[in-house]
Structure 1
């Protein structure tokens, strides 16, 4: 699939320069940026869900307690 992106001259020069400096193509640069954005949003959603669960039941366990509970001391 081909996707086109319209850029002004200044943005195009910046993106090309950054890609060249990091030894990647513009396609790799954009693909990596989009994947990082998606991953960041997913991580934030998981964090918020975890925080909500913790706020409902604020119980924490130390590493040693978890090992003991799992029988892997």
Structure 2
């Protein structure tokens, strides 16, 4: 398992440790989960932006019923 070091000032350290404690988690898990969630959110946003661009370039729509039929096939 890799180790990543991080420099923060004492006030930030205290705040982070207290927050982790209130969430009943370790600081390590808090950082890991927070960073991974941020990455996932940015990926999701990028996919959304691309999907909207694709739709603007080639606007097509499909009814809910047709979508269900397509997914059932």
Q: Fold conserved (TM > 0.5)?
A: yes
CA shift in 2, pair 1:62/1:7, >3 Å: same
Aligned-partner SS, 2:24: coil
Ranges in structure 2 where 5+ consecutive residues have no aligned partner: none
CA shift in 2, pair 1:35/1:10, >3 Å: same
Aligned partners of 2:56, 2:71: CA distance in 1, in Å? 27
Shift, 1:57, TM fit: 1.2
Q: TM-score, normalised by structure 1?
A: 0.87
What is the total number of aligned residue pairs between the two structures? Answer: 71
**Stretches (4+) displaced over 4 A:** none
Structure 1 counterpart of 2:33: 32
Q: TM-score, normalised by structure 2?
A: 0.87
Ranges in structure 1 where 5+ consecutive residues have no aligned partner: none
